[in-house]
């Protein structure tokens, strides 16, 4: 286990600068403004209280013992499932069951480990985070491209039409009131879950290649990707498709149809899970869609207006989704490990209530999904 030093008292856990300087050309972003000395504004007080939590507890904002246990268990389940496949050489139904266990482990790894590591939230040692970044590639997704799209294309422009990659409906969905409405959008709340289930399959087979070779975002067009990232892209895809599709056929003698069906089923589960975990935090009927970057004087207000939490009192949900149900804290403190989110959420909720700042949340994930679909129905039927 890697021990982390306690937090330094004069270092704020609320992000004060973009996370994308090492990835893409810089642009203006809705980053927090500097508060005047002595001011008692909401952002200043909130920042002080979140910092004080780590200082008072004398703990690091990086991974704690719980996080390292999650990492070990998730990797063990994934590796164990694949060892069992080749050691036991099971029949079709047991093969499908073990294959699905591996797929569930991939989902858990993406939400709990890969996401945190790409925010440098697991360790203060960059090598540890960079190593764990490759969990994305292990699961068939380019960690390099995901980091660009997630940091520059989401964290730096939450709910901004034309910039936030999470709002890119690619003509299939209308996620913001600034998007033009097509006739089929009136049914988007009906077909949404079916399309969402294809999310990870799209990333593995199409989206990464599109972003590398046929980019649509301006910041991707301006970015010169290192040659090593092209090599990692093809090597990662090749490795993933080999162990997921080719080896079960060649080494286990399984029917290509059975393996393809198991592969598709895994991605339906991964895709639907990942999409709902993220979409229910920004695109719901109570969150706000700013018209431009300058609408808020301080990025903290921007985050509170465009982001919502769900099921924050349910530790099982937080364990399974990598703390992303505590989404406001995640955007305020992206470099903090998610195993610290629950107490930080209580601090920000109390502080927001004290200053009269609206705090958006749903008691359950089911309720959050319902309000996401309500928004889709509204946007599909109203200009």
Rounded Cα–Cα distance for residues 91 and 252 (Å): 10
Rounded average pLDDT over 133-139: 95
pLDDT at 84 over 90: yes
pLDDT in tens, 43-53: 999 999 999 99
Contacts with 112 (C-beta within 8 Å, 6 or more apart), sequence order: 70, 71, 74, 321, 322, 338
Rounded Cα–Cα distance for residues 277 and 382 (Å): 26
Let me know: does 50 contact 332? Beta carbons within 8 Å.
yes
Element (H, E) at 190: helix 188-196
Rounded Cα–Cα distance for residues 180 and 23 (Å): 31
Let me know: does 324 contact 115? Beta carbons within 8 Å.
yes
Using alpha carbons, list the distances in angstroms from residue 260 to 99, 171, 208, 246.
11, 28, 21, 10
> Could you say which DSSP state residue 244 is in?
I
> Could you say which DSSP state residue 33 is in?
P
Rounded Cα–Cα distance for residues 134 and 151 (Å): 17
Q: What is the pTM assigned to this prediction?
A: 0.88
Rounded average pLDDT over 18-45: 50
pLDDT in tens, 215-257: 988 888 888 999 999 999 999 999 999 999 999 999 999 999 9
Let me know: does 186 contact 172? Beta carbons within 8 Å.
no
pLDDT in tens, 33-43: 434 333 459 99
pLDDT at 219: 85
pLDDT in tens, 328-361: 999 999 999 999 999 999 999 999 999 999 999 9
pLDDT at 216: 85
Rounded average pLDDT over 14-41: 45
């Amino acid at each position: 286990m890697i021990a982390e030093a306690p937090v330094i008292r004069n270092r704020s856990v609320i992000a004060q600068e973009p996370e994308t300087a090492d990835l893409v050309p810089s642009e203006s972003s809705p980053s927090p403004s500097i508060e005047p000395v002595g001011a008692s504004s909401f952002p200043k007080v909130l920042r002080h209280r979140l910092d004080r939590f780590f200082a008072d507890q004398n703990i690091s904002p990086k991974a704690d013992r719980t996080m390292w246990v999650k990492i070990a268990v998730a990797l063990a389940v994934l590796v164990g499932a694949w060892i069992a496949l080749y050691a036991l050489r099971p029949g079709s139904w047991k093969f499908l069951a073990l294959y699905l266990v591996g797929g569930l482990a991939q989902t858990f790894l993406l939400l709990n480990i890969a996401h945190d590591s790409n925010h440098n939230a697991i360790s203060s040692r960059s090598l540890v985070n960079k190593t764990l970044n490759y969990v994305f590639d292990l699961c068939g997704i380019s960690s390099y491209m995901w980091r660009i799209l997630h940091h520059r294309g989401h964290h730096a422009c939450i709910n901004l039409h034309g910039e936030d990659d999470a709002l890119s409906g690619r003509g299939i969905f209308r996620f913001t009131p600034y998007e033009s409405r097509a006739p089929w959008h009136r049914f988007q709340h009906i077909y949404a879950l079916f399309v969402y289930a294809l999310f990870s399959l799209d990333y593995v087979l199409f989206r990464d290649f599109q972003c590398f070779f046929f980019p649509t975002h301006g910041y991707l067009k301006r970015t010169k990707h290192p040659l090593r990232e092209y090599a990692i892209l093809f090597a990662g895809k090749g490795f993933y498709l080999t162990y997921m599709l080719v080896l079960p056929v060649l080494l286990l003698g399984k029917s290509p149809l059975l393996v393809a069906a198991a592969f598709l089923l895994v991605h339906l589960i991964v895709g639907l899970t990942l999409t709902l975990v993220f979409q229910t935090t920004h695109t719901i009927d109570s969150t706000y869609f700013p018209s431009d970057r300058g609408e808020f004087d301080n990025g903290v207000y921007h985050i509170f207006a465009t982001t919502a939490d769900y099921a924050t009192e349910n530790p099982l949900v937080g364990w399974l989704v990598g703390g992303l149900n505590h989404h406001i804290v995640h955007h305020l403190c992206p470099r903090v490990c998610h195993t610290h989110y629950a107490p930080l959420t209580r601090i920000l909720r109390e502080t927001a209530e004290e200053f009269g700042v609206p705090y958006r949340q749903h008691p359950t994930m089911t309720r959050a999904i319902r309000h996401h679909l309500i928004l889709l129905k509204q946007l599909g039927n109203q200009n």
